[in-house]
A and B are shown apart, each in its own frame.
Chain A
């Protein structure tokens, strides 16, 4: 398996523009997580999906952020409008789901977002 695939790897945009980050989880995994990582705050959970349904979105900073998972093999994280403080590395991770070692996360390589 190719692992969790994220695109793009790097995104540079101007303040106010819409940004869409994409994620393809590992086939057969039914849990998907979006995290944001910064030097100041470390890894922060944004949203958690289970079986394509958003379970916990309490980490989504504000209405400018939205996430979807239309099917088991694809998820998007959208920021509209983007702001400089959104600059960070965004990770997508997936896991088999509930129970034992199924709970370990497999992370993608991340999207480095820079908002100018």
Chain B
């Protein structure tokens, strides 16, 4: 059974204080790892897809990296508007096209 564990559950940062969110996963064979951002009262919004160990993707202050066991979402010099819940999901090879989601990390960036 595919498993996704995100840590920490919650993170409070000061504006400009860089940090990382972790997503550890267990799958039979990784087809893709996805990061989503969810704002209060809204549905998750796609950020990145990573497919193989060593791959990196960047978007503004966010950079996602991938190893064979985990992914990190690095947030550089965050701003209050980066406050949101960040969700990680994995898709495995083998017939099912259903992603398994982690519980998410709630990020609050204080001005």
Q: Which residues of A are at the interface with B, using a C-beta cutoff of 8 A?
A: 4, 31, 33, 35, 42-43, 45, 48, 50, 56, 91, 93, 97-98, 101, 103-110
Contact = CB atoms under 8 A, between A and B. Distances in A.
Contacts of B101: 35, 42-43
Interface of B: 31-32, 34, 36, 41-46, 49, 87, 91, 96-99, 101-104
Nearest to B104: A42
A4 B102 contact: no
Contacts of A35: 101
Contacts of B45: 107
Given A42-B102, A56-B96, A104 B42 contact: no
Given A42-B102, A103-B49, A110-B42, 5 more contacts: A43-B87, A101-B49, A103-B32, A105-B34, A105-B46
A92 B61 CA distance: 29
Contacts of A50: 97
Contacts of A103: 31-32, 34, 49, 91, 97, 99
Nearest to B98: A48
Contact of A104 (B31, B41, B43, B46): B46
A50 B17 CA distance: 43
In the A-B complex, list the 9 residue pairs whose CB atoms are closest, starting with the nearest.
A107-B43, A42-B103, A43-B101, A104-B46, A107-B44, A48-B98, A91-B43, A108-B43, A110-B43
B4 to A, nearest CB: 10
14 contacts: A35-B101, A42-B102, A42-B104, A43-B87, A43-B101, A91-B44, A103-B97, A104-B46, A105-B36, A105-B44, A105-B46, A105-B99, A108-B43, A110-B43
Given A56-B96, A98-B97, A103-B91, A93 B102 contact: no
A71 B49 CA distance: 29
Contacts of B98: 33, 45, 48, 56
Contacts of A48: 97-98
B30 to A, nearest CB: 12
